[in-house]
Structure 1
Amino acid sequence: MPVTPSYPGVYIEELPSGVRTITGVATSITAFIGRARQGPVNDPLMVRSFGEFERVFGGLWLESTLSYAVRHYFANGGSDALIVRIHNGATKASLAISGALTLEAKNEGAWANTLKLVVDHNTKDPADTSLFNLKVQNAAGETLENFPNASSNPANPRYIGGLLERESRLWRVSGSVSARPAADTYDLADPTPPAGVTVTAGSDGNALTLNQYTGSQANKTGVYALLKADLFNLLCVPPPSFTTDFADGDWDNFHQFCQDRRALLIVDAPRWADSAAAVSGIAGFTRHKNAAIFFPRLRAPDPLRENRLEEFVPCGAVAGVMARTDASRGIWKAPAGLEATLSGVAELSVSLTDKENGDLNVLGVNCLRALPNVGRVVWGARTLEGADRLASEWKYIPVRRMALYLEESLYRGLQWVVFEPNDEPLWAQIRLNVGSFLHNLFRQGAFAGTTPREAYFVKCDKETTTQDDINRGIVNILVGFAPLKPAEFVIVKLQQMAGQVQA
């Protein structure tokens, strides 16, 4: 702040530079929506490895297409997965000990039906009749959670109600606690529990329908549960089951949401039997710039079926390839080509020829191919607006994703502008900060062009923001960039030199 001189001498005043660094957002946080064995419901939770997914959501499950998609995602280079668990009529397990307390599973599902609760009174103070030790064990007797010196007294800092709420992933207290439970092993799988003990089994509910996926915006359920998340870039919605697919029009329920959240929807093609079925089937899909469709499906070993080859949707593996490409090359590189190999995929459900690939590519269908000496790869990088006849400026996935990345980064990095004095000093700061951000991307090779002038521009002055705009509290910032478009077709022209005469 300005100094007030009061005595003869030298005064030091620090002046603001006007530099406010704009940081690029993450590019490959992938959201998954579907059924899982356990875990929080309609509450997006970040996991960063498949091991963490196993711990929180129960790992692979034959009723969960989501679990396999997440496994393929991490196997192909994914690093950040945002999981939204949904269900259709699942219920929670509970254990009521008469005259003591009632425990309820923290989330729905049959996962808790095989657990054991072991209670003993060997506490630090045997004279305190409110203290007890509680262990949660699985069917094999392995301890999953341990709560020593828990108390039935609400005034005690280790009151069992607060203790489980804070520290347990599995159980919570339902209602009030009247006394400590008797020392015993309470097995939820016991068909004849002891007298005074009531066990209510949890259930996994029914197969999902479209209603559970679409959810409610007001209640933030289904896909709208992602409104609770700060950021995601890719959205994977595996089908309701291994035998049921979404209808072509069902994907429309997710398009607008992805556009509002500046994310890309990865669409799994139906079970098209061959390229001819795909050519006719793609006509039923709504064209959208924030979506991309991939065909055919993957055939990979299933650990739950003796590693026999089973058919899976490709969304998880494709999202993993995108994350891997972003990390190694940048979001401006098309996630396709010889580098875009599909790990853990033994074969594809449909083997496509070059001509069949060409027929689908011009329609905006991204093909997965099996190439000799390379393996299974992603061999297409077009959005659902990528059909040649549409002539869309958002034809290519890397161009669209680059635009979404810039939009989200600038949206977050320019929040400080709100309520600042709307005049030339502010406009100069905006040009400086946005220009610095874009120039850094230019140096990384994110834009076409050999000079900054060819690669990008930032305009914010009295031409973009008129006096009428100022009177209405508006500042207009015009940002342009020259996108890098993939070399989709490589044409080699070969000419024979015959009869050439030296000059």
Structure 2
Amino acid sequence: MPEYLAPGVFVEEVSFRSKSIEGVPTSTTGFAGMAKWGPVCYREQGIQGPISCEPRLITSFTEFERVYGALENIQIDDAGATVPRLPYLAHSARAFFENGGKRLYVSRVFAPNTGFDSADFDTAADAWGIGRVAVSITGNPDAILQARWPGEMGNMFVKVLVTRSKNIAYENDDLGLVQVRGVQAGAVVEVTSAANLPAPLGNAPLDLNNLRVVAINSDGVQTFISGADGNPDAPANDDVIQLVQLRFQVTMGSQINEYADLATDPSQKRYLGRIFDITNPEDPDCPFWFNWQPTAGNTIAAAQLAADLRGTEGAEDVYGYRFEGGNDGVQVSPDDLAGNAADPDDASLKATGLEALAEVEDIAIVALPDSGDMGSTVLSRVAAQNLVSHAERARYRIAVVDGPINSSLNDIRDFRAQFDSKYAAIYYPWINIFDPNERFSQGTPPRQIALPPSGFITGIYARNDIERGVHKAPANEVIRGLTRFELNINKPRNEVINPEGINALRYFEGRGFRVWGARTMSSDPEWKYVNVRRLFIFIENSIDQSSQWAVFEPNNRILWDNIRRMVEDFLLVLWRDGALLGAKPEDAFFVRCDRTTMTQNDLDNGRLVCLIGIAPVKPAEFVIFRIGQYTADAS
């Protein structure tokens, strides 16, 4: 209660209504798997890598390509030989967005190639496939340009260009000195004497003898330190002075990114080491980081760095650096996909794989697009078990499981028989699409590739939730972006796999390609259907998130009534939306929160118990019309 200690008028805000429950999103999806590029946490001790390596939220396939690479094959190492592997994660992300998905968290998984050694850098960095290049800097340690993430795409090409300003010199009459406009301490300028005019233009190489580093004393007076010998050098009145900055063009595959107005002194706002920082660069998707420490006490290090980075050789528009050592590692294992939890004793060792997705509470659907092609059925089964276990531990998410590639009807039945979980569903068969990396040519049949169904199905889950609601079974829905199924499922085959909880993907003449099943992999008939399981996940998670305010409130009838009304209002809306069965609310649900649900022992131990009963709507899986002959009475 507020205190009233002095006379006056007091205006207070009070609430005369119960709290409300806001429904949580159910369409946010999480994938873990192999990618060409992108954030991944280094687990190797002694390798400096970005700390900001958590799963990224992706909202379009264009964004996925920028962060995690495109659809080119992953070049994995297999006993010393390079073997191309389809990037199932990238293809599944493309299918997810094409089928209506909106929000996707991606946890990249990478397995280092411990046998790789370029002989140019340390073995640990080689094993992790981190591309890099060293640049010799006069009078200073080498500058290391290193890819932020492992992968063959890390063998990028960085073109270093020089940008020169117009003449910024002017004569300060009060000081009787030549000064320059618009520069700060540490800026590098180029001085061209009258005898050597015209001044260099554009991207011409830098001559260290013509470079000066600007120093400013406490009175604001500028002095110019010679890049050749480190001594002060006062420009003449007729000298041309230009501000020198760098511009980097980074080429990775078909992507070209440009970074302009770069400075070479650590005191500058756009210093290279700050723009290309390992953890917090200007561009969160910056592909490399700049690692350089100038020699202590070196006043002309900025000029030396600018001159040597640009270099004096090569044509004016092609001088640059090719990174080396980047590789795509080896085939990941089921344990790699499961990942490791974050190390509580070392903040730099973040969670990986599925464990990284476990830290993102928004995710409601999870999948492992790589799990169906692990080299053997046993490895695929172990990977799927890890996925199902992850969903069960998280409670508020469901796993979409892929069967092994090229599975026959008996193979997929044997695979399915090894699972029993109400938090997972399996779909069969795999899906064929035209290879997006090949251009169509006349007279040549286009190449087709087989993809796991999880990318398509998770997109359909999201689309169904957005258009109809989580209570509607994600079945009898059109699958977009495919050519055909790996295997044709007809009605007799469907009659075999459907009772076993294997959801068929079927083609219907005149109705297209559709999802024709909505069952979980549970033997419990109470949790037979996907939509029932996901509806309860939605309700439980929504109540969980919206009732945190009740913790440590006085455990009395006021709180109980408030809780009861809050839950009843939420369930009433669901009933009106058609998510609950019953002609009236009393038939659809009940909520009890009073002394009938709590004993004195519960109250003494600080427990509030609310009992909620729900009648979910189940799908009309079998629509039956009984027809017989009818003869009208002659009367």
Q: Is this contact kept in 2: 1:104–1:173, CA < 8 A? A: yes
> What is the TM-score when the length of structure 1 is the normalising length?
0.90
CA change 1:59–1:436 in 2 (3 A) is: same
> What is the TM-score when the length of structure 2 is the normalising length?
0.72
Q: Select the residue among 281, 303, 307 that pairs with 1:182.
A: 307
Instruction: Tell me, yes or no, if structure 1 residue 136 matches structure 2 residue 268.
Output: no
Equivalent position SS for 2:38? coil
**CA-atom RMSD in angstroms:** 2.6
Letter in 2 for 1:4: Y
CA change 1:260–1:240 in 2 (3 A) is: closer
| Residue 132 of structure 1, CA deviation | 3.0
Q: For structure 2, which runs of at least 5 residues remain unmatched after alignment?
A: 42-53, 75-86, 113-127, 166-181, 190-211, 215-243, 296-300, 312-317, 344-350, 440-445
Of residues 245-254 and 27-36 in structure 1, the stretch that sits farther from structure 2 once superposed is 245-254
| Residue 40 of structure 1, CA deviation | 0.5
Q: Select the residue among 325, 331, 342 that pairs with 1:201.
A: 325
Aligned position for 2:510: 373
| Residue 20 of structure 1, CA deviation | 2.3
The one-character-per-residue Cα deviations of 1:84-124 (angstroms, maximum 9, x if unpaired) are 11111142111222226222111111213132231425267
Instruction: Tell me, yes or no, if structure 1 residue 110 matches structure 2 residue 110.
Output: no
CA distance in 2: counterparts of 1:465 and 1:483, whole angstroms: 26
CA change 1:218–1:364 in 2 (3 A) is: same
Aligned position for 2:39: 40
CA change 1:140–1:440 in 2 (3 A) is: closer
Q: Is this contact kept in 2: 1:102–1:173, CA < 8 A? A: yes
Instruction: Tell me, yes or no, if structure 1 residue 49 matches structure 2 residue 60.
Output: yes
Aligned position for 2:587: 454
Q: 1:230-379 counterparts in 2 under 5 A?
A: 230-239=361-370, 244=375, 246-261=379-394, 262-271=396-405, 273-283=407-417, 285-306=418-439, 307-337=446-476, 340-379=477-516
Q: Is this contact kept in 1: 2:366–2:399, CA < 8 A? A: yes
| Residue 243 of structure 1, CA deviation | 6.8
CA distance in 1: counterparts of 2:40 and 2:390, whole angstroms: 20
Aligned position for 1:167: 282
Q: Select the residue among 70, 74, 77 that pairs with 2:100.
A: 77
Aligned position for 1:59: 70
Aligned position for 2:268: 156
Q: Is this contact kept in 1: 2:310–2:319, CA < 8 A? A: no
Q: 1:215-230 counterparts in 2 under 5 A?
A: 215-219=339-343, 220-230=351-361
| Count of residues in correspondence between the two structures | 486
The one-character-per-residue Cα deviations of 1:214-268 (angstroms, maximum 9, x if unpaired) are 1212442121011332320111101258573543243222222212221111011
Q: Select the residue among 569, 579, 582 that pairs with 1:436.
A: 569
Letter in 1 for 2:327: S
Q: Is this contact kept in 1: 2:154–2:323, CA < 8 A? A: no
Letter in 1 for 2:33: G
Q: Is this contact kept in 2: 1:28–1:326, CA < 8 A? A: yes
Equivalent position SS for 1:71? helix
Q: Select the residue among 76, 91, 95 that pairs with 1:68.
A: 91
Aligned position for 2:555: 422
CA change 1:434–1:421 in 2 (3 A) is: same
| Residue 138 of structure 1, CA deviation | 1.5
Equivalent position SS for 1:53? helix
Aligned position for 1:210: 334
Equivalent position SS for 1:251? helix
CA change 1:141–1:359 in 2 (3 A) is: closer
CA change 1:177–1:424 in 2 (3 A) is: farther
Identity %: 31
| Residue 135 of structure 1, CA deviation | 1.2
Equivalent position SS for 1:436? helix
Structure number with larger C-alpha Rg: 2
CA distance in 2: counterparts of 1:291 and 1:69, whole angstroms: 18
Q: Is this contact kept in 1: 2:372–2:404, CA < 8 A? A: no
Q: Is this contact kept in 1: 2:371–2:384, CA < 8 A? A: no
Q: Is this contact kept in 2: 1:209–1:240, CA < 8 A? A: no
Q: Is this contact kept in 2: 1:236–1:315, CA < 8 A? A: yes
Instruction: Tell me, yes or no, if structure 1 residue 483 matches structure 2 residue 616.
Output: yes
Letter in 2 for 1:133: L
CA distance in 2: counterparts of 1:413 and 1:181, whole angstroms: 56
CA change 1:104–1:279 in 2 (3 A) is: closer
